[in-house]
């Protein structure tokens, strides 16, 4: 039997966070929210293995962020980091 679950959490930053980018965006802070930002996760388990797929509404993530995020998800779920995408 296949089991699946989905979770979603808003990531919209607090008021006054600087916008990312170059030139015009340097030291420019956001002034309104057009669309909220989310983290969405899908977990699928076939009884032998669980895989988690995470989608982030972020412009850039680096390897360090990915490793830290996988480690935190592993600590909370027991799912091996290699099975967290």
Residue 19 to residue 36: CA distance in whole angstroms: 14
**Per-residue model confidence (pLDDT) at position 12:** 86
Tokens representing 68 are 């830290």
Nearest to 52 by CA among 61, 40, 62, 63: 40
**Per-residue model confidence (pLDDT) at position 13:** 81
46 and 80 Cβ atoms separated by less than 8 Å: no
How buried is residue 47: exposed, middle or buried, by Cβ count under 10 Å (0-12/13-18/19+)? exposed
pLDDT band per the 50, 70, 90 thresholds, residue 31: confident
Residue matched to tokens 């076939």: 46
**Per-residue model confidence (pLDDT) at position 24:** 64
46-64 pLDDT, tens digit per residue, is 999 999 999 999 888 999 9
- Which sequence spans correspond to the domains of the chain? 3-83
Percentage above 70 pLDDT, the chain: 92
């Amino acid at each position: 039997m296949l089991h699946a679950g989905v979770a979603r959490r808003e990531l919209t930053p607090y008021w006054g966070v600087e916008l990312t980018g170059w030139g015009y965006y340097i030291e420019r802070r956001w002034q309104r929210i057009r669309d909220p930002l989310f983290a969405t996760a899908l977990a699928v388990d076939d009884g032998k293995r669980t895989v988690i797929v995470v989608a982030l509404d972020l412009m850039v993530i680096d390897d360090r962020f990915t490793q830290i995020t996988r480690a935190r998800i592993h600590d909370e779920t027991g799912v091996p980091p290699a099975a967290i995408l």
